[in-house]
A and B are shown apart, each in its own frame.
Chain A
Amino acid sequence: MKAAVIVFPGSNRERDIAYALELTSGQKPALVWHGDRDLPAGTDLVVLPGGFSYGDYLRCGAIAARATIMDAVRAHAARGGLVLGVCNGFQILCEAGLLPGVLMRNAQLKFIARNVHLKVERSDTPFTRRYNAGAVIEVPVAHGEGNFIADAETVAKLEGEGRVIFRYCDAAGQVTAGANVNGATNAIAGIVSENRRVLGMMPHPENHVDPAIGSTDGRGLFESLAEALQTA
C-alpha cells in the first residue's frame, strides 16, 4: 500500500488516519499538502481526513474541494484509484463531485460526538472485504453536518446499484428512526462511487483500531484496504 493522506488547513484527523493505515498495512502513508500539484509517484490510495477544512466557510468542504491537489485526486479517481473520505473528507468528495449528494446540517441541529452503530451493507468492496455483509460495528461520529441528502432519483440510483455501504442502525442491526443520528436520507452513513473505488462516510473508523481505546471495530476497513492493495 502506498497511501497519501491529504492535509488541508483545518484538517485534524490526518494523524489518526495515518496511524490506522500504518497499524494495519505496516507502511507509513505520505502526508500531502493541499497546495501540491501531484500525488507521490505510485500512490494507490488517497485519503481525505476529517476536520474543519477552511473553518467550514461557505459550506463544509466547499473550499477544500477546489484546492490545487484535488485535480490530482480527481485524476487518480478517474484512473480507478482508491479514495477514502471520512467525515469532512466525505463532505469534500461530495463538493468535488466525486460522490453524489450533499451533507446538510444535522436534523436535530446539534453537533453529535458519540459512538454509533453501523450496518455494513456489503462485503464485496475494497473497503469492506474483511467484514461480513450485515455485520454491525460500533464507531464514533463527530459532526454537525452529516445529514446526507440527494434528490429522489439519485437516492433510488444509489439504493438500486447497492452503493450504500454503511447505514446507521441500533446495536441489534435494526435501521430505526431513533438510530439515525443526523436524519440522513435512508439512514445513509457511507456511499461508494459507481465503480466502487471511492468511499465517503461520516463516521470515524480510524478511531476504533487500537484495543487500548476499547474497540477495534473500525480496523476491518483499513485491513480491507491493505489486503485489497496487497493482492492487486
Chain B
Amino acid sequence: MKARVTVTLKTGVLDPQGKAIEGALKSLGVEGIGAVRQGKVFDLEIADMDRAAAEAAIKAACEKLLANTVVENYRIDIA
C-alpha cells in the first residue's frame, strides 16, 4: 500500500517562499497565476495492514513529525 501526505501552511500564515516564487513567475512572464503557497509532499510505503490501521499509523506520523500543526495542515491520500 502506498500513501501520500500533503503538508500545507495554514491560511493566514505568512509564506515568504511562496511570495518569492510568485514574484519569480511574474518576472518570467507567466500569466494568470495569482498567489502561490509552498508545501511539502511525502510518499510513504505502508506495510501490509488493513486500511483503518494504516490510516491511524499515517495520522500518528503526521501529528508526531511530518506536520507542525501550529502552522501546518496535512492531508492523507491512501492509494
Contacts and interface: CB of A to CB of B under 8 A. Distances in A.
Q: Is the interface of B mostly helix, strand, loop or mixed?
A: helix
B26 to A, nearest CB: 16
Contacts of B65: 58, 62, 66
A102 B64 contact: no
Contacts of B13: 104, 149
Nearest to B70: A102
A150 B16 contact: no
A147 B13 CA distance: 12
A183 B68 CA distance: 20
Contacts of B16: 104-109, 147, 183
B34 to A, nearest CB: 20
Interface string B22-35: 00000000000000
Contacts, number: 36
B14 interface: yes
B20 A109 contact: yes
Contacts of A161: none
Most buried by B among A95, A100, A105, A106: A105
B57 to A, nearest CB: 16
A147 B65 CA distance: 21
A151 B14 contact: no
Interface string B46-70: 0000000000000000001110101
Interface of A: 58-59, 62, 66, 94-95, 100-102, 104-109, 147, 149-151, 183
Interface of B: 13-14, 16-17, 20, 64-66, 68, 70-71
Given A58-B66, A66-B65, 11 more contacts: A58-B65, A66-B64, A94-B70, A101-B70, A105-B17, A107-B14, A109-B16, A147-B14, A149-B13, A149-B14, A183-B16
